[in-house]
Structure 1
């Protein structure tokens, strides 16, 4: 289960925290210089808090974690990928509201 706030993941702990997670994980691929990433961050914080019983939200800085970003072909940010049972289930690109994010991933959580 999530802890009510987004957690930082990186190249070193991605497999343990995301792929091996028994709970679905929505990973936000972001960078500090990305304006739309800053816009979606509070929406993800609300999502993490409100859906903590069935979803984990994680953030991966693409500047600092190029291995995972390259593995998943992240070419534009923000990109959010929902992982369940170690597999990508849904990919969302661009900033959007909490309600829109939830609408897109609800079938998988």
Structure 2
């Protein structure tokens, strides 16, 4: 349900519709807490939103392009434009409310 993206695939996969991308790293505790919340949200929201994640250690170019300084940072894009940036752990309800504003 959550697609792993790379520097090479990020732009192509997040240019249409509403997309949600989680910037994370394996060593990040809050990222590991956020991940199951995002997985559950992806299952519930289905095709309304494209859910993805980017490992900042392996894909530094994309992280730098969006000025990712802390993780987890989540970007919501609509038709290729960033419409919201969310930093830190958030509940499923908080994330869902933000996403529904763009659907």
Deviations 1:51-79 (A, max 9, x none): 11210110000000001100000000000
Runs of 4+ in 1 over 6 A off after TM superposition: none
Distance 2:66 2:73 in 1: 10
The correspondence for 1:53, drawn from 39, 47, 54, is: 47
User: Which blocks of at least 5 consecutive residues in structure 2 are unaligned?
Assistant: none
User: Which blocks of at least 5 consecutive residues in structure 1 are unaligned?
Assistant: none
Aligned-residue CA RMSD (Å): 0.8
Which structure carries more strand by proportion? 2
TM-score, reference length from structure 1: 0.91
Number of aligned positions between the proteins: 103
Task: Give the deviation of 1:94 after TM superposition.
Answer: 0.4
Is residue 90–residue 105 contact of structure 1 (8 Å, CA) maintained in 2? Answer: no
